[in-house]
Amino acid sequence: FNHATVEPSSFEMDFIARDNVRYVYGFKITAEEVVEEYLYSFTSRKKSELFVRKKGEKIHFGSLFKGEQKVLEDQLLNNNLLLSKAANSNYEQMQKVYTYFTRGFHVVLGSLNDSFSMKKSFEDTSFKKYIADFLKVADTGIEAFEVMKQDIGDLKFPNDMPQAFREKLAKRSAYKAEVIHYTCDDSTPEQVSWGLAEESAGTVKLFSLAGPIIDVLNQGQILIF
């Protein structure tokens, strides 16, 4: 496989960071090196350049860039992103931008499961109410739910199961939930409950997705699913 024949991959993000400043950050990379990288800010309606970096050229820093420039450029390797290097070298201005990427995303990898929604609901009653309201609006028939912590010490795993997979399964099994419905028999309302797993697959998936959705709305993040 010849990396030299592969075109660079380009990424760009237009966003508002926690300092309420709009930024445009982008880079172009191959498997070996950074070909291009840039960061602009919008402190007013006008776009201002913070830095522009292109392979084989001297890095151009804009007038709004704060911090020592030459030291940063001298320490930067061809396969380093300038934003990462500056943030990890305590350039406060760049840390604000970098934090958007390290803390501004909720990423759901692989198959969706209910462990996040259950854990957050168990720890935070306000979050639990958000999910309950979410399920009501979705017309699932669920009026409320309760989350309980369960003992996972008795879980039996095959001897040849990798430790990382054991820990993942144990984490997913740490909580269980019971959902509450109201049923009407001869005009007499009655409360009934059963395990979440007994709901339809669609309702279980909706419960699982409710947690990440509510979390990103509360945190001002982005959900990647």
pLDDT, tens digit (0-9, with 9 covering 90-100), for 174-188: 888 999 998 876 667
Q: 125: exposed, middle or buried (C-beta count within 10 Å: 0-12, 13-18, 19+)?
A: exposed
Total residue length of the chain: 225
CA 175 to chain centre: 22
- The answer to which of 59-63, 111-115, 171-175 has the lowest mean pLDDT is 171-175
pTM across the whole model: 0.66
Q: What is the pLDDT of residues 16-38, one digit of tens each?
A: 887 889 999 999 999 999 999 99
Residue with token string 């697959």: 201
**Residue 83: its pLDDT value, please?**
97
